[in-house]
Amino acid sequence: MEKAKIDWPHMHPINGVRIGAARAGIKKPGRLDVLIFEIAKGASVAGVFTQNAFCAAPVMVAKEHLSLGDIRYLLINSGNANACTGERGLIDARATCTAVGDLGGVSAPQVLPFSTGVIGEFLPVDKIIGAVPEAINALDKDGWESAARAIMTTDTCPKGASLQFEYQGKTLSVSGVAKGAGMIRPNMATMLSFVATDAVVAQSVLDTILNIAVNRSFNRITIDGDTSTNDACILIASGEAELPPIEQAEGELFEKLCDAVVVVMQQLARAIVRDGEGATKFVSIEVCGGFDSDECLKIGYSVAHSPLVKTALYASDANWGRIVAAIGYAGIRNIDVTKIKVWLDDVLVVDRGARYAGYSDDAGTAVVKRPDFTIKIELGRGRASETVWTSDLSHDYVTINAEYRT
């Protein structure tokens, strides 16, 4: 992966959503680190949050505010996670919401706070509040790229995705940004994503769309529960499109919108993996022929998380023995290894649980030298299938994470 080449997409503006970023000097001076989303009155906002028992103060406050509805602003800072900061962390997060509410003419509970960065240090509230006027002055419907930049931590490039689709002669848009990095799992590098559409969507339907899309995107690069203290994904439906509201989780418009949100979130999720700390490869792990989805995911993650598999991929070593060992310790009951097949792209490597007679190391090596390839695992015991995405484990991963705080 050529990290230097940032292929920043054209981002369709979303009527009813304006974005402004500012420099508060939270961790480093001179970089965008405070971000505000302004959301039109009448919009719907849905959110999913980390399941980590140590969820950060802003997550607690955001959940509380979201449950009250009528959200008008998002306030995001990078450089400090406001996590493991106890009671003071909650007070600090609320103080920043109050500051945005005061300037925006809304109440504090109409503002959702988000933070990403170092854990265990108190939020520099004064710096953030000091930068809020600059961010509000910068509000613009074309602020998506600065949004993507302002939320970056160890990310090496901003991540955005955007598309449009037609319905009854009208054009609808979906745009979003994300930040991630980390070795994806344990995905303790916070994942944040903010996605918006101009569609008109009832709250309960928006919740459904968000759950479907997260399960088919971000939840395929991390595991439920294995999340950082600050993870969050927000979906805004501004309601500015001139179309009737989507009131039910069915019908053509619902399906089209749901598909569009899935595509945008999958593009963002893939971008997070591609930019994994030190990553040099993008690897899809496709597990099929499983008894159920759960066992396919267990095996997919077992392979995806094995440090021995990941270091072999980094070395472009088609070390399939490490792949089968990771399948073997995934904890699936009564698995019959003599039915298992493994392919590297279209090269059959393992047949009936052992090295395929026609396999050559050269053919396998040619695949794993590619920057983007698939490990396909056939279990031969059912019809379920799942795909997870991961990266390799390189020297740079160790360097980045050994030096992050210094």
CB-based contact 355:271 (threshold 8 Å): no
Nearest residue (CB) to a copy of itself, 115 versus 267: 115
What is the distance of C-alpha 312 from the center of its chain? 25
Measure the CA dihedral 255/260/262/265, to 10°. Answer: -160
Sketch the per residue contact string, 219 through 258, with a copy of itself: x for CB under 8 A, - otherwise.
------xxxxx-----------------------------
Can you tell me the distance from the alpha carbon of 382 to that of 291, in angstroms, rounded to the nearest whole number?
4
- Active site (annotated) includes residue 190: yes
Binding of a copy of itself at residue 347 (CB under 8 A)?
no
Of positions 14, 17, 46, 55, contacts a copy of itself by CB under 8 A: 55
Tell me the window of 142-150, 194-202, 253-261, 306-314 that interacts with a copy of itself (CB under 8 A). 306-314
Q: Which of 195, 264, 327, 347 binds a copy of itself (CB under 8 A)?
A: 327
Using the minimum distance from each CB to a copy of itself, give the nearer residue, 168 or 334: 334
Q: Tokens representing 334?
A: 């009564």
Among 24, 75, 76, 81, binds a copy of itself (CB under 8 A): 81
Contact 309, 323 (CB under 8 A): yes
Burial zone of 406 (CB within 10 Å; 0-12 exposed, 13-18 middle, 19+ buried): exposed
Q: Helix (H, G, I), strand (E, B), or coil: what is residue 114?
A: strand
| Residues 125-144 close enough to bind a copy of itself by CB under 8 A | none
Q: Could you write out the DSSP letters of every residue in 336-352?
A: -GGG-EEEETTEEEEET
Distance between alpha carbon 49 and the CA centroid of its chain, in Å?
A: 11
- Check residue 335 for interaction with a copy of itself (CB under 8 A): yes
What's the rounded Cα separation, in Å, for the pair 24 and 21?
A: 10
Which residue in 183, 236, 258, 262 binds a copy of itself (CB under 8 A)? 183
Q: What are the start-end ranges of the H helices in 196-251? A: 203-215
Binding span for a copy of itself by CB under 8 A among 27-35, 126-134, 162-170, 310-318: 310-318
Closer Cβ to a copy of itself, 100 or 287, answer by number: 287
**Taking Cα atoms as reference points, which of 155, 224, 160 lies closest to residue 190?**
155
Binding interface with a copy of itself (CB under 8 A): 51-55, 81, 83-86, 89, 118-121, 182-183, 186, 188-189, 225-229, 306-308, 311-312, 314-315, 317, 319-322, 324-332, 335, 337, 350, 352-355, 393-395, 397-399, 401-406
User: Which of the residues are catalytic?
Assistant: 190
